[in-house]
Structure 1
Amino acid sequence: MADRYLSFTGTAPGRFLTRRLGLPQPAALRRWSPGSPGFVGGVLHLTAGKSELSGPAFPEFPSPSDAPAAVLLDATGVRDVEGLAEVHAALHPVVRSVDASGRVVVLGAPLSSGDHHQAAAQQALEGFTRSLGKEIGRGRTVNLVRLTDTSAAESTLRFLLSPKSAYVSGQVIEVGQPQEVDVDIDRDLPLAGRTALVTGGARGIGAAVAETLARDGARVVVLDVPGASADAERLAARLGGSSLALDVTAPDAGARIAEALPDCLDVLVHNAGITRDRRLANMPAERWSSVLDVNLASVLRTTDALLETGTLRRGGRIVATASIAGLAGNTGQTNYGASKAGVVGLVRSLAPRAAAEHGVTVNAVAPGFIETKMTAAIPLFIREAGRRMNSLGQGGLPVDVAETTAWLAHPASGAVNGQVVRVCGQSLLGA
């Protein structure tokens, strides 16, 4: 559905009127497209404190000529309050010059359990980046990446410093030790030779995820309920993949998926989900149980089955779909919020064990207000509030969730594990 307010604010009268009335002035976001895959400007590298990074050098990015498209600040060496002054000194002179829809990425270090001065300074970076994200404007984003080894950071930095991360801001992403990759990765087709299964993939966000993974070279299996089989088949045919008509709540869903994938699976995307909104006092048991069964129980069952049978290969990726409703809560969505918070718990508990025992990473995306048929049906004033209550002042698109999923599915993203990444434009809810 078109965002008429965003279109209006892009006109001269719209800019004048919204400025005079103190209304939000969202900027049109620049997203990835085949003809414009990257930013025109370069990346400005800055340092605060003495860098503590190890490993190979950062991936090469072009240097800026005038207005940088992005700023990468290495603050891993900030260990005290004096070091935080260097963060200010580094970014203060340049923050205004970052191009529209540009990026600021701050690199931090893990918090030290034995040095509370370092821990305080590094934790301060979270408040700094989230605050900067709320004031920087013009469609620009700010994120913090905690890491210790540059060799594990390439896929994450390429994502966050690109148009693919247009609706990801105010996030803190932890990057651990690199995971061995057996084959050379084609930068244009990183998922070539890999099979990806997307549940609830026939429409909406699921269809965008399937399209994006196919763009990156994956053979995509579009799974959806039998009632959506026609849409799933059409999408799969267009993407050169296949479809699977299956109710994920079936007790044998995991076994049937394994049977349909004799050559195994590399990427499992849990996207299937439903809402049955009503305040708790008015919510019958059926509305509660149906949402929990689709959104959480089926995710648990199929994940367990596909790991236990070895259907999900070593080096595989599990990307589940949470929601900011599970992180911040939402009126009328106790069932939905519980199910999506449960997905977060699954990710945080399973991620270290799945990596150790199966060589598989487990992460989640947590969408905010995304422009879909479901949000288009929301009453006008509530819909407008949902769109504006984030730092970017607009709703996201299904492709924003898809690009984040593709980054987490990337073969070089093995050091990103146990993360829940909000795709919400830095929503003011639960921020």
Structure 2
Amino acid sequence: MSDKYQGFVSSPIGKLLVKNLGLPNPTRLERYTAGDPLVDGTVLVGGSGRLVESLPGLLDLLGIASTPTFGEGARLKGIVFDATGLKDSSALIALRDFFTPVLRSLDECGRVVVIGTPPELASGSERVAQRALEGFTRSLGKEVGKGSTVQLVYVAEGAEAGVTSTLGFLLSPKSAYVAGQVVRIGAHGKAKVTEVADHTQPLVGKIALVTGASRGIGEMIARVLHRDGAKVVGLDVPQAASELQALMKELDGDWLTVDISGDDAPQRIAHHLKEKHGGVDVVVHNAGITRDRKLANMAPSDKGDRWAQVLGVNLTAPERITRELLDQGIVNAGGSIIGVASIAGIAGNVGQTNYAASKAGVIGLVDWLAAELEDGITINAVAPGFIITQMTAAVPFATREVGQRLNAMAQGGLPVDVAETIAWYANPTSSLVNGNVVRVCGQMMLGA
């Protein structure tokens, strides 16, 4: 599906109206294509702290050119600032002194990443200063414009070597619709930093289960994980069998049709993965449904109980499946479990008490398991905002337009934006990225 408004404002008449009426003028976002460099330009590296000296080497591993100096007339595709050296509030002036002279040199669809220390792992005045970075980055993210983004990455002491995959994701077009987010690395202990032979195909030899894989966001997740080298096992309801099988044949994958809310679904899934693949490395809980209605009108007998259906598919099933796979040891060491939450689970939505509860529960599942998982297994979630799909195309025009414009990008996201975020989590070199919930929402202006 396309954004018709974005096409309109690119026309001669649209440009005239934008100029004279001050209408939103969304920048066409750059997105990654296999074979492209991660960053098409130079990244400025500055600041003071634990990572500033190692950052150029880490970026070089990804083929990203960096520089510690900024020359007059230079253009920048990215900026990385190490703020781990800011120990009290008076030191925050370094943010202004560094960024003010260089921000106007940031290219369209540029990237800014600030690196800090998790406030919960700091104390005293340092904790104050590090927590202030969140307000700074979220506000700057709403200032930079032109498709550019600003993110904050909190890196625990001792986890410095685990930032490579995160830098590659946040500095590249893969993170096109991820904006104003806070990522924590190494916050749940010092797991082993994993390396891969090929950064362009980090999932070679890995098995990835994707639920709800036959269409929409699930289909794109399967495609991106396949692009990154994974053997994809697509799962969907029996009614979607023909679409699912066609996609998996195209991707040289495997498939399983099952209603994930069924009593025996966790056992059937575990048996399939164990018998056919010997285990699984990536589990993506993407399958989900909506049954919208205001709570006052949501009677238990209404269309098979809207409340129970939504909670059963969106939350109870992922929890039961995850527990079964872990209890049977089906998730391989160093594996990744990824939930698909929603901005509704963070900010709420009229008529979606059931859906919002289920998606907030997915975040609760991440909170619960992040500190308990063993063998280097991680759990994280994405929380999509307004993503343009066939489903959102059915939303009334006015509601759809508001949903797409009330974010820093002034546009909706695409299924690939969710898929790229999941692929970053699934990357074995993201082994210290654990317990995160990243919103794929273009940095919503209200509610979150």
Distance 1:129 1:6 in 2: 27
CA RMSD of aligned residues (A): 1.7
1:386 aligned residue: 403
Q: In the alignment, which of 251, 257, 270 is matched to residue 285 of structure 2?
A: 270
Is residue 2:334 matched to residue 1:334? no
- What aligned pairs does 1:3-22 form with structure 2 within 5 A after superposition? 3-22=3-22
Is residue 2:429 matched to residue 1:412? yes
Displacement, 1:41?
Answer: 1.1
Secondary structure, in 3 states, of the residue corresponding to 2:83? Answer: strand
Mark the runs of 5 or more structure 1 residues left unpaired by the alignment: none
Is residue 2:321 matched to residue 1:321? no
- Indicate conservation of the 8 Å contact 1:307/1:358, yes or no: no
Displacement, 1:112?
Answer: 5.6
CA-to-partner distance for each residue in 1:116-140, whole Å, 9 max, x for gaps?
Answer: 3212211111001100111110000
- What aligned pairs does 1:143-222 form with structure 2 within 5 A after superposition? 143-147=151-155, 148=157, 149-176=159-186, 179-180=191-192, 184-222=196-234
CA-to-partner distance for each residue in 1:331-379, whole Å, 9 max, x for gaps?
Answer: 000000000000001101111101xx34310000000000011100000
One-letter amino acid matched to 1:170: G
CA-to-partner distance for each residue in 1:29-77, whole Å, 9 max, x for gaps?
Answer: 0000135343321111111xx3134995533231368211100011111
One-letter amino acid matched to 2:249: A
Distance 1:117 1:360 in 2: 34
Is residue 2:441 matched to residue 1:424? yes
Is residue 2:313 matched to residue 1:301? no
2:45 aligned residue: 45
- Indicate conservation of the 8 Å contact 2:141/2:180, yes or no: yes
Q: 1:273 to 1:112 in 2, by over 3 A?
A: closer
One-letter amino acid matched to 1:380: F
Distance 1:43 1:389 in 2: 29
The percentage of aligned residue pairs carrying the same residue is 51
CA-to-partner distance for each residue in 1:181-211, whole Å, 9 max, x for gaps?
Answer: 6764321210000000000011100000000
Q: In the alignment, which of 44, 54, 66 is matched to residue 63 of structure 1?
A: 66
- Indicate conservation of the 8 Å contact 1:10/1:27, yes or no: no
One-letter amino acid matched to 1:117: S
TM-score (normalizing by structure 1): 0.95
Secondary structure, in 3 states, of the residue corresponding to 1:79? Answer: coil
- Runs of 4+ that moved beyond 4 A: 54-57
One-letter amino acid matched to 1:62: A
Q: 1:397 to 1:82 in 2, by over 3 A?
A: same
Q: In the alignment, which of 395, 419, 422 is matched to residue 402 of structure 1?
A: 419
Mark the runs of 5 or more structure 2 residues left unpaired by the alignment: none
1:122 aligned residue: 130
Q: Which stretch of the first structure deviates more once superposed, 72-81 or 291-300?
A: 72-81
Secondary structure, in 3 states, of the residue corresponding to 2:372? Answer: helix
2:29 aligned residue: 29
- Indicate conservation of the 8 Å contact 1:104/1:143, yes or no: yes
One-letter amino acid matched to 2:430: S
Displacement, 1:261?
Answer: 1.5
- Indicate conservation of the 8 Å contact 2:285/2:338, yes or no: yes
Q: 1:261 to 1:112 in 2, by over 3 A?
A: closer
1:89 aligned residue: 97
Secondary structure, in 3 states, of the residue corresponding to 2:107? Answer: coil
Secondary structure, in 3 states, of the residue corresponding to 1:353? Answer: coil
Secondary structure, in 3 states, of the residue corresponding to 2:119? Answer: coil
Secondary structure, in 3 states, of the residue corresponding to 1:99? Answer: strand
State the number of aligned residues: 427
Distance 1:166 1:397 in 2: 10
Distance 2:75 2:175 in 1: 19
- What aligned pairs does 1:229-268 form with structure 2 within 5 A after superposition? 229-262=241-274, 263-268=278-283
Distance 2:95 2:102 in 1: 12
Distance 2:83 2:281 in 1: 35
Q: 1:74 to 1:12 in 2, by over 3 A?
A: farther
Displacement, 1:428?
Answer: 2.0
Distance 2:246 2:24 in 1: 40
Distance 1:163 1:311 in 2: 33
